[in-house]
Amino acid sequence: MQTYKVQNIRREPGEIKIEALRIEDQYKKTFYIMGIDGLKRYATAQGNHFFDPSSMRFFNSRIGAYDLVSGLFISSEKGPDNVRKYTIRKLDYETGNVDTIGKFQQYSTLAQAKRAFKTLVGKEVAHV
């Protein structure tokens, strides 16, 4: 459930500034997103549970490379077969939803995921 209605988004390398109104009481709030922790806090404030520690533990998830401007990031999960695979995802700044780009666990290795990620964001990617 979306908690904030986005009014303005300013994207700059290293920082995203989101001006929003809380739906319940029209309280105006500005989110400054600088790094993966900022992405996690923003998604959680929007009511998304993707980054909740309990969800991350349950799915044995990790977050790898990310790009603040696009909201893209690499996640990895271990399935019942105990094999770690990689997925490219996108945090939608308007809604706070996390969407899968391509197929879930599409990449068998981090290197494959990074190559695809680099193509999507158009720059070098470092594991974070």
Structure tokens at 31: 């989110």
pLDDT at 22 over 60: yes
Q: Is residue 127 part of a domain?
A: no
Q: With contact defined as beta carbons under 8 Å apart, do 68 and 33 qualify?
A: yes
Identify the pLDDT of residue 109. Answer: 96
Q: Is residue 128 part of a domain?
A: no
Identify the pLDDT of residue 117. Answer: 94
Tell me the pTM: 0.83
pLDDT at 32 over 80: yes
φ and ψ at 42, to 5 degrees? Answer: -65, -45
Mean pLDDT of the chain, nearest integer: 88
Q: With contact defined as beta carbons under 8 Å apart, do 73 and 66 qualify?
A: yes
Q: Is residue 126 part of a domain?
A: no
Place of tokens 């990895």: 76
Q: Is residue 73 part of a domain?
A: yes
* 112-124: pLDDT as tens digits: 999 999 999 886 5
Q: Is residue 81 part of a domain?
A: yes
Q: Is residue 51 part of a domain?
A: yes
Q: With contact defined as beta carbons under 8 Å apart, do 2 and 47 qualify?
A: yes
Alpha-carbon gap, residue 5 to 66, rounded angstroms = 24
Question: What is the share, in percent, of the chain residues with pLDDT greater than 90?
Answer: 43
Q: How many domains does the chain have?
A: 1
φ and ψ at 102, to 5 degrees? Answer: 85, -140
pLDDT at 128 over 50: no
Q: With contact defined as beta carbons under 8 Å apart, do 120 and 87 qualify?
A: no
What are the E-state strand segments in 23-113?
28-33, 62-67, 72-78, 84-91, 98-101
Q: Which domain holds residue 109?
A: 4-121
Q: Is residue 24 part of a domain?
A: yes
